[in-house]
Chains A and B, each alone.
Chain A
């Protein structure tokens, strides 16, 4: 760690991990309700569980992005953060808003659009928090060294704030409501979030492989270019069946097929950088998460996205468990793993020690990733059976759900494995540092400026 103010990343990482825990616990509960439907049905019905599961995910990923930005921007800009104090206040407000939202949901205080259930005052608070954050990092970047990484990262983060403004627009016409709802949801996760992800990945590659910055930055431009060229018109794959014109079937099919490209090139990029870089970085766990992130995102977002994105396929699969399978692996691969990668990389620096608990951290990687893979296969099989019975044979929804019940047991078991993996990860990151690792000796060897 070169700059004192990078330390503001710590509370963000802790807060993100705490909400990650909430997300997984509630996810386990929701998975349990799938197989034992009478559980909690009066106290905390499924709609509330799912709201907490998805909202906790989105908020902790954002919190992780904020922390990652506060960690890497001083290092990239080669100066202290504009205002560490503002960053701490921002964290307090954001965490308070997140917890208030969760508690509110339990007491049925929420709005009703998927993922945007936050009451209006919390949405306003999110905008205030975002502006504090953007002011802080933009000032830091403007006064310091500009790099491609900071440019793309800051652009992505401004985009997140900008597109969130569409959450305040809720037209009475349902089709319009849906069309603009995707301006938040799709342009986030298949647009500007990819900018954030790719720039964090590029930062990690520079730090851990030692490959020349020029080369990494060229790759970064190419990857985020492909992401936006395909992802913007790729929004069309959400406009097939919601009252929008038929031409979206062609545009959406074509461009969302191309959405595989940036994820494919992220894999090529990560693997190539690791092979090319001669550096034997001691933080093998962080490297595993980084490369694993690119690979899993390629499968989850790329391959599983493509599986059901062509309009004539989507006509049958839209809104089935196939969608759920894709959603789970895509979010895990692209956004959960990039966060866990930067946490794994940054924590030893933030704690001023050499990389520690590497074996445990790597074990948690395999358990979580393996669990998510099994979950994805279970939901995919459930989805394919559902498509055939319900969409081809025309069988009743509830009857079909009873037919695919065994897959939901597999999904629950896989979820339990992910949960155990996450517990290992938390210990590997937050647990006491073994005596032999308490000096930052090895870290200093790869980062001479420290």
Chain B
């Protein structure tokens, strides 16, 4: 580095620049917060059962096998659009029944296939989880994922 670029200059650029970019980042996330609430997600549809369903999702640490909107572990299928994959956008009751059946049938015990644990969910919990996944499938994800396969 050249002599003209002094340590004091480096220091001032670092502190000044960091403050500037942090302020820019905070402002943009504030704007995004408003966007998420008004446009990105279905705030009106965020019912108590969706909230309870999110808790079911967290309590059983689903994220450490599955991904949800691409985030999580990569050991099991993406679930952000699983509601659509189950046909829930056209036949919600059918998808709900299919989800309940799936949860009840785990673990499959099939040799050589990844095993999903039995979480012993109550009927209410399965319903809440379905509501949560249905709500999640309506998030405006800029058309991600590219295919229904997730």
In the assembled complex, the Cα of A245 lies from the Cα of B41 at a distance in Å of 11
- Greatest chain B CB density within 10 A among A238, A245, A248, A395 is at A245
Cβ of A174 and Cβ of B139 under 8 Å apart?
Answer: yes
Cβ contact within 8 Å between B36 and A323: no
CB-based contact B21/A233 at 8 Å: yes
Interface status of A14 (Cβ within 8 A of chain B) = no
* Interchain residue pairs A-B with the least CB separation, the first 3: A112-B58, A319-B70, A47-B64
List B contacts of A394 (CB < 8 A).
Answer: 147-149
Residue ID in chain A nearest B72 by CB atoms: A114
A173 touches B41 (CB 8 A): yes
- Taking the closest CB of chain B, its distance from the CB of A291, in whole angstroms, is 19
User: Which residues in B have some Cβ–Cβ distance to A below 8 Å?
Assistant: 1, 5-7, 10-11, 13-14, 17-18, 21-22, 24-25, 28-29, 31-33, 35-37, 39-41, 43, 46, 50-51, 54-55, 57-65, 67-78, 107, 111-115, 117, 132, 135-136, 139-142, 144-150
| Contact A244 B40, beta carbon cutoff 8 Å | yes
The listed residue (A41, A232, A245) touching B40 by CB distance below 8 A is A245
Max chain B C-beta neighbours (<10 A), residue from A228, A235, A243, A393: A243
Instruction: Name, among A34, A50, A175, A239, the residue most crowded by chain B CB atoms within 10 Å (CB to CB).
Output: A175
CB-based nearest A residue for B107: A41
A295-321: CB near B (< 8 Å → 1, else 0) gives 000000000000000000001101111
Q: Which of A47-104 contact B (CB under 8 A)?
A: 47-48, 50-51
Establish whether residues A46 and B75, one from each chain, have CB atoms under 8 Å apart when the complex forms: yes
User: A179-B32, A243-B141 are contacts. A219–B1 as well, Cβ < 8 Å?
Assistant: yes
- A148–B15 Cα gap in the complex (Å)? 12
What is the interface residue range for chain A against chain B? Answer: 35 or more
- Min CB gap B131→A, angstroms: 12
Known: A42-B115, A319-B70. 17 other contacts (CB 8 A): A38-B111, A38-B112, A45-B65, A46-B64, A50-B64, A114-B64, A114-B71, A114-B73, A148-B7, A174-B69, A179-B36, A233-B25, A236-B28, A240-B142, A248-B28, A393-B147, A401-B114
Q: How many A-B residue pairs have CB under 8 A?
A: 214
In contact, B149 and A112 (Cβ under 8 angstroms): no
Closest to A47 in B: B64
Q: How far is the CA of A406 from the CA of B69 in the complex (A)?
A: 27
Give Cα A215 to B59, complex, Å. Answer: 51
Chain B residues whose CB sits within 8 angstroms of the CB of A392 once the complex forms? 146-147
State whether A251 touches B144 (Cβ < 8 A): no
